[in-house]
Amino acid sequence: MSKSLVIITSFSIFAALFGLFGCDVGRNSGSICKNNPELCADLHRDSWCLVEKGDLIRSRYQLKITTEPTGKQLYDQLIKLESYSKCIELAAGVIHIQNTDRTLDRERAYAVSTQNLIQLREYTKDNPDNYLVYYRWTTFNDIPSRDTLIKAEKNGEITEPFILAQLASHYIKTDMNRAKMLYLHLLSHVKPKTIDPDWLLALATIYRWEQNVDNEYLLTKANTLMSDNIASQEKLLALIANDSNRAQQLDLEAIELVRLLKTAQFDTSEIKSKFE
């Protein structure tokens, strides 16, 4: 498949993905479109889906200024294109009675975006980069891609947190010890802003299976402190036989755990040993 067919818009894939650039800062989508009109010509013109449109434009721009796009950049383009296509599909259903051109413009943009997505998926379908292997696994439930990632993870080749988290979620069904190891690795090494509180719930599930009620209580409580989730205190107390003194101690440990996670100190903390 030729590179010129990957994105069938008014600009060629050669220009969009592999071209050189001028003086753009690559942040403001308006300035990108002004200086690189070929990157935006196929997109709708009105104010709908501004976030998705802007993200897609910036992703395209990054591809344009890169001589050899990485798998991560192509993955990002797939995700941004999917998001834009879904948004503009909804917007295309909003009919303007007085300005029918807007409706037609969105319908056109949606049709082109779906075809672009088909083309880009085809272009990347055999790419062995782990980001694109991950995309095929999570998008199409492609089992060979999943197995490829499992092998790569066990060989220490995966470092991206969201890929490791997805693998950890899979391991809960097949290898709980490895799932625990990955979740603890993530909590120990990712930046605080990257931590997903749901990792704590996943660990709590593992300890439930291990019948370690203290850790289940502690991690569930910590999750509520780091998210909008609400846990029934009555049910939490039932885990520890309604022992209020034990609950008070675990509540304090949950507060400390959250502090350690938010300050990137969990890896060297004493509390980590409770989970190993």
Q: What is the pLDDT of residues 115-155, one digit of tens each?
A: 999 999 999 999 999 999 999 999 999 999 999 999 999 99
Residue 204: DSSP 8-state? H
Q: What is the pLDDT of residues 14-42, one digit of tens each?
A: 344 333 333 334 468 999 999 999 999 99
Nearest to 57 by CA among 20, 84, 92: 84
Query: How far is 130 from 145, CA to CA, in rounded Å?
Result: 9
pLDDT at residue 93, as a whole number: 78
pLDDT at residue 92, as a whole number: 85
SS3 string, 43-111, reads CCCCCCCHHHHHHHHHHHHHHHCCCCCCHHHHHHHHHHHHHHHHHHHHHHCCCCCCCHHHHHHHHHHHH
Average pLDDT over residues 60-66: 96
Q: What is the pLDDT of residues 158-174, one digit of tens each?
A: 999 999 999 999 999 99
Domain parsing of the chain, residue ranges: 3-124, 161-275
* Residue 173: CB atoms within 10 Å: 8
Q: Which two tokens stand for residue 25?
A: 């800062």
**CA contacts within 13 A on the Cβ side of 200:** 22
Query: How far is 229 from 260, CA to CA, in rounded Å?
Result: 20
Query: How far is 51 from 57, CA to CA, in rounded Å?
Result: 10
Average pLDDT over residues 188-203: 98
The count of residues in the chain is 276
Query: How far is 185 from 265, CA to CA, in rounded Å?
Result: 13
pTM of the model: 0.86
